[in-house]
Structure 1
Amino acid sequence: MLKTERHQKILNLCETHGIVSVKLIQDNLAVSDMTIRRDLKELADNEQLHRVHGGAQSLNYEYQAAEMSQLRQELSHTEKKQISTNEKNYIAKKAASIIQQTDESIFLGPGTTIELMTEFINISRLRVITNSLPVFNLLKEKDNFELHLIGGEYRNKTGAFVGAMAIEMLNKININKAFIGVNALQDDQVFTFNIEEGNLQQLVLEKATEKYLLADSQKFDEIDFYSFYKLSDVDALFTDSSLDLEVKKDYEQYTKIIN
């Protein structure tokens, strides 16, 4: 199918449904999701539709607030654990492999991919700092780790501690390597759902000597509610092996992509 034909079909779907998901477009066009994401980006750049998280919206669509709220709903920790599990394991193992020096201070942020990293960290002595209760629970039995849990306001959706108390504690800590999961990536912008989590993750990355992001290939060419960092300011981004080569090339202008 020619690109112009795909674009017209996507616009027709948007006009028919108002808001469409990448999955709906894929089902109708029988092309890869990465092709669709590139098409949506081009159409949005040409002001032919609006990009929204997980899909696109017609320029003429008058939607109800309840529908938009549902579209932007943050997934629970349990729901996230069921998504892209093979890809997350692949990313977690790759990211953990660069933790090789003993006695380092590393920060592990919240997120199901970073939780999986705990299975692959094999260092005799390590200081681990986290604001994630699930990460803390996975590591608390490892006697060779010096484990620090950053406290604060608890977010049940992600199992993370955030807010002023967490920020105050982090301001006093030095970090060698930071590993942060993200919800979406578009061009040089890195997104998450929650502003408080984004602010804390921004501080962590600013304080870290080496800064690393983790995101499966479905997070590329997407947006979420809050942009908290620039991709060009991190040392590398870990993703899975299914990332489209053209997409990888586009994002390598900002940082090193490891997959």
Structure 2
Amino acid sequence: MVKTKSRRDRLRSVIQSRGFAALGELAESFEVSESTIRRDLEQLEHSGDARRTHGGVFWTGNPSTMRVFGDRRDTMWAAKSSIGRIAAELVEDHDTILLDGGSTTYELARHLVKRPLQVVTNSLPVAHLLSSSESIDLIMVGGSVRGRTAVAIGPMAEQVLHTLNVAKAFLSVAGITERGYFNSDMMLVESEKSMITAGDQVIVVTDSSKFGKVSLSRICGLGEVNAVVTDSGINSQWKQRLENEGVGLVLASTPSSFSRTKQDESKETE
């Protein structure tokens, strides 16, 4: 029993570090049969740390230990996971969606792994996660890659984004004030502005700790997105502000059927 547990612990570490591993390669490396590896993988899948696909397995566990997220681990990971799960309910099968970088959008991606979707992203961690999913048509936006955040940004990314149209664009932010949504990287913000123009719906996914915080560069005004998905830690004043701006609020503790689009919004103002 101890030997089995030790092997599964090592197997978990291998898959986590690689992101994806082939079944035969794992069996050979651990010197066990493929049927034994399959049983081990069943346990990892049951715990939510991995998802099996044809011929292999890819990591879907907590991203907080990944290099790009490791130095930003905080007390909000549970909230981010819930936000990702609820945000995934806003996505319909066969949608074309856009995901930007960040730990919360990564959590959203974890809940989309087996869905039939077309996904556009500038995030290397998100692309890595989804690249082995047979049901997802993945489009990676190129550009200059920020090492700290592992996202592609800059003129090349913006040029590509300006040619695209998606049903829903999901954005992460570093701060939200009465003036709008902010991020700390000016080049990233320019790419996010292009993402906004690409989306029929624009949805901000963020934990409640970001409300009332400001950052270096402003993405857009408070009412220039369609919805905000956050956790129940948001206070009543912020709920009222979002309502006053016509922004749909989706709380991670409640289901949602939000479907307002920017086209609907424009019709209301005509």
For 1:52-63, what aligned pairs fall within 5 Å after superposition?
none
Provide the identity percentage.
Answer: 25
- How far is the alpha carbon of 1:242 from its aligned partner? 1.6
> Contact 2:182 / 2:219 at 8 angstroms: preserved in 1?
yes
- How far is the alpha carbon of 1:77 from its aligned partner? 3.1
Question: The residue matched to 1:143 in structure 2 has which SS?
Answer: coil
Name 1:79's counterpart in structure 2: 71
The one-letter code of the counterpart of 2:191 is L
CA distance in 1, matches of 2:162, 2:202: 16
TM-score (norm 1): 0.67
Q: Pick closer, same or farther for the CA change 1:122–1:166 going to 2, 3 Å.
A: closer
Name 1:164's counterpart in structure 2: 155
CA distance in 1, matches of 2:69, 2:207: 16
Give yes or no for the alignment of 1:179 onto 2:170.
Answer: yes
Q: Pick closer, same or farther for the CA change 1:122–1:130 going to 2, 3 Å.
A: closer
> Contact 1:184 / 1:191 at 8 angstroms: preserved in 2?
yes
CA distance in 2, matches of 1:133, 1:124: 19
- How far is the alpha carbon of 1:167 from its aligned partner? 1.1
The count of residues paired between Structure 1 and Structure 2 equals 183
Name 1:211's counterpart in structure 2: 202
- How far is the alpha carbon of 1:81 from its aligned partner? 3.7
The one-letter code of the counterpart of 1:108 is L
Task: Determine which of 226, 251, 262 is the counterpart of 1:235.
Answer: 226
> Contact 1:187 / 1:251 at 8 angstroms: preserved in 2?
no
Name 2:83's counterpart in structure 1: 91
Q: Deviations over 1:119-146 (max 9, x none)?
A: 2126642110000000001111101100
Give yes or no for the alignment of 1:247 onto 2:238.
Answer: yes
Q: Could you tell which deviates more after superposition, 203-212 or 241-250? A: 241-250
Name 2:118's counterpart in structure 1: 127
For 1:197-208, what aligned pairs fall within 5 Å after superposition?
197-208=188-199
Q: Pick closer, same or farther for the CA change 1:124–1:221 going to 2, 3 Å.
A: closer
Q: Pick closer, same or farther for the CA change 1:124–1:247 going to 2, 3 Å.
A: closer
Question: The residue matched to 2:72 in structure 1 has which SS?
Answer: helix
The one-letter code of the counterpart of 1:93 is R
- How far is the alpha carbon of 1:170 from its aligned partner? 1.3
- How far is the alpha carbon of 1:88 from its aligned partner? 0.4
The one-letter code of the counterpart of 2:250 is I
**Structure 2: which 5+ residue stretches go unaligned?**
1-67, 252-270
- How far is the alpha carbon of 1:83 from its aligned partner? 4.2
- How far is the alpha carbon of 1:169 from its aligned partner? 1.3
TM-score (norm 2): 0.65
Task: Determine which of 106, 112, 134 is the counterpart of 1:143.
Answer: 134
- How far is the alpha carbon of 1:247 from its aligned partner? 2.6
Task: Determine which of 156, 181, 198 is the counterpart of 1:190.
Answer: 181
- How far is the alpha carbon of 1:257 from its aligned partner? 1.5
Q: Deviations over 1:59-107 (max 9, x none)?
A: xxxxxxxxxxxxxxxxx632224441011011111111111132x2100
Question: The residue matched to 1:80 in structure 2 has which SS?
Answer: coil
The one-letter code of the counterpart of 2:244 is Q
- How far is the alpha carbon of 1:251 from its aligned partner? 2.8
The one-letter code of the counterpart of 2:238 is V
The one-letter code of the counterpart of 1:142 is S
Question: The residue matched to 2:87 in structure 1 has which SS?
Answer: helix
Name 1:101's counterpart in structure 2: 93
> Contact 1:109 / 1:181 at 8 angstroms: preserved in 2?
yes
Q: Which runs of 4+ in 1 moved over 4 A?
A: none
